[in-house]
Amino acid sequence: MRLWPGDADEVVAEVDGRHVHLTNLKKPFWTRPRRTKGDLLAYYAAVAPALVPHLTDRAMVMKRYPHGAAGAFFFMKRAPTPRPEWIETVAIDHGSKGVIDFPIVQDLPSLLWVVNLGCIDLNPWYARRDDVDRPDYLHVDLDPGTAPFARVREAAFALRALLDELGLPSWVKTSGSKGLHVYVPIVRSPTQREVWELARAIGLELERRQPRLVTTVYRVADRPAGRVLVDFNQNQWGRTLASVYSVRPTPRATVSAPLDWEELAAGATIADFTLDSMPARVAARGDLWAPLLPGSAAAVDLGARLSRPSRSGASPSTRTS
């Protein structure tokens, strides 16, 4: 999908009746194979129908790579000025950092505007702007460290089994970098702190059950070799993970791809999903993560589910003080 001339380096594109200034389209953002900033923008335009609903009404933490995937990056929370009048923002009180106006991606023009700032991957909040302390998801980031990806896959299925015992549905995607992300869509009621506490308890229980496979030790120097990190800390307030369909700044421009569990069992790997291959997959299969969108029947009430006995007959309460 092209919204601008292929040989242009700078254009003002008219998108959905809005004018978006796109710059440095020929600039290499990857070298082998060569992919430009224009290629990155074209990718996001192609997957926007599936991606944008997952970003809507969520503050965006911008991670900007002005010199491409191999270059230095910096985080930027406050929406830059000047900016188009149609870019929506949400004001969030960050305590000692003051009130920050985060940009929000609501449509294709605002998506292209954010990506044009050099944002290779997209990092939205888990909570929506009308209540930034009530997230829509509980999630776990499975980080391999030095472990092979096969161990990450094994850890994902062990986590799925534990969540199933608790009556919690689970959805999986590649991180696009090294590991896997497992999400549980929830009804907005618990605070971000409460969700983090439950994610922590789940992580500790998985570590108790699978001590040779996973660890919750966060500090790399103290982490047992070959263990997969069960990272629950990204559930803390204001933290983010790369969105589904987000390109990552890896050498092959891999993408955080939604999977079904059967694909993962059959051997799907991170390298299977790239900036080049993902648009065709989305066109053919649609949004595999549509059930995680707000208002979906897939969202579970954590309080109701965790007050019942688990399917194994054991108490599902794994909360810690």
* 108-129 residue pLDDT tens: 999 999 999 999 999 999 999 9
Q: Are 63 and 73 in contact (CB under 8 A)?
A: yes
**111 & 154 share domain:** no
Q: Examine the pLDDT at 317 and tell me if it is beyond 90.
A: no
**300 & 152 share domain:** yes
Q: Examine the pLDDT at 227 and tell me if it is beyond 80.
A: yes
Structural domains in the chain (count): 2
- Whole-number Å distance between alpha carbons of 199 and 292: 18
What CATH number corresponds to the domain at position 36? 3.90.920.10
Is 5 within the bounds of a domain?
A: no
Choose the final residue of a domain: 60, 89, 124.
124
Produce one character per residue of 42-66: b if its CB has 16 or more CB atoms within 10 Å, e if not: bbbbbbbebbbebbbbbbbbbbbbe
**162 & 302 share domain:** yes
Domain residues for 270? 137-306
Is 315 within the bounds of a domain?
A: no
CA 110 from centroid of its chain's CA atoms: 18
Is 130 within the bounds of a domain?
A: no
- pLDDT bracket for residue 245 (50, 70, 90): very high
Residue showing tokens 């803390």: 236
pLDDT value for 314: 40
- Whole-number Å distance between alpha carbons of 288 and 282: 8
Give 4-13's long-range contacts (Cβ < 8 A, gap of 24+): 4/38, 6/38, 13/112
Name the residue among 20, 231, 253 with its Cα closest to residue 144.
Answer: 231
**145 & 106 share domain:** no
Instruction: Kindly report the pTM of this predicted structure.
Output: 0.93
**105 & 148 share domain:** no
Q: What is the DSSP letter of 59?
A: B
**179 & 256 share domain:** yes
Choose the final residue of a domain: 124, 148, 163.
124
Choose the final residue of a domain: 71, 101, 124.
124
**Cβ neighbour number for residue 19 with a 10 Å cutoff:** 12
Is 1 within the bounds of a domain?
A: no
- Whole-number Å distance between alpha carbons of 118 and 109: 15
Is 257 within the bounds of a domain?
A: yes
- Whole-number Å distance between alpha carbons of 12 and 8: 10
- Whole-number Å distance between alpha carbons of 80 and 103: 9
How do residues 159-180 score in pLDDT, each as one tens digit?
999 999 999 999 999 999 999 9
Q: Examine the pLDDT at 224 and tell me if it is beyond 50.
A: yes
**153 & 119 share domain:** no
**27 & 82 share domain:** yes
Query: In the structure encoding, which two tokens stand for residue 185, read together?
Result: 């869509």
Mean pLDDT computed over 74-82: 96
**290 & 166 share domain:** yes
**171 & 280 share domain:** yes
Q: Residue 171's beta-bridge partner residues? A: 183
Q: Residue 242, class by beta-carbon neighbours within 10 Å (0-12 exposed, 13-18 middle, 19+ buried)?
A: buried
